[in-house]
Amino acid sequence: MGGLAVVDVVDRYFGAYNAHDLDALMGCYCSQPVAVGPGGPARGRSDVASYHTLLWQAFPDARVTVWQKIVKDEAVAAVGVGIGTHTGPFPLTTGEVVEATGRRVSVRCCWIFEIEGCLIACSEVFYDQLELCIQLGLRLPA
């Protein structure tokens, strides 16, 4: 496969993500997907859908701008920025939940997608959690 077919599903993913279209987004994933973020993996369609829904609830205007994509066989790396306004509860990796701050955030991110049969089998997102916490105005431990 590779090439355009691999990039196409990633483009559809980001289009659905920016439109907050959960059905279209989940249509980009295989039947047993994994989505990995700083809080660990979400496994299966229900957990992956919940992962995205929680993020959209915390940042209802969340959008991603992709700056670059790199394709290698059945994998795509994407680099860009995620922006949004924090108006809902946001779970941290510590288990705490940050209530709405009303702050606008802009965080550089890197996504890695593993593609199988023209669908996303695994998506991983990496971003600087400290940068996000500072932008949210959170107090850092001494």
140 within domain boundaries: no
24: tokens are: 């279209």
Q: What is the CATH number for 117?
A: 3.10.450.50
Could you give the CA distance from residue 2 to residue 92 in angstroms, rounded to a whole number? Answer: 35
pTM > 0.85: yes
pLDDT tens digits along 91-116: 988 888 999 999 999 999 999 999 99
Domain span at residue 48 reads: 3-135
Mean of pLDDT over the chain: 94
33: tokens are: 């997907």
How many structural domains is the chain composed of?
1
Confidence of residue 77 (pLDDT cuts 50, 70, 90): very high
Helix, strand, coil fractions of the chain, as percent rounded to 5: 30, 40, 25
pLDDT at residue 32, as a whole number: 98
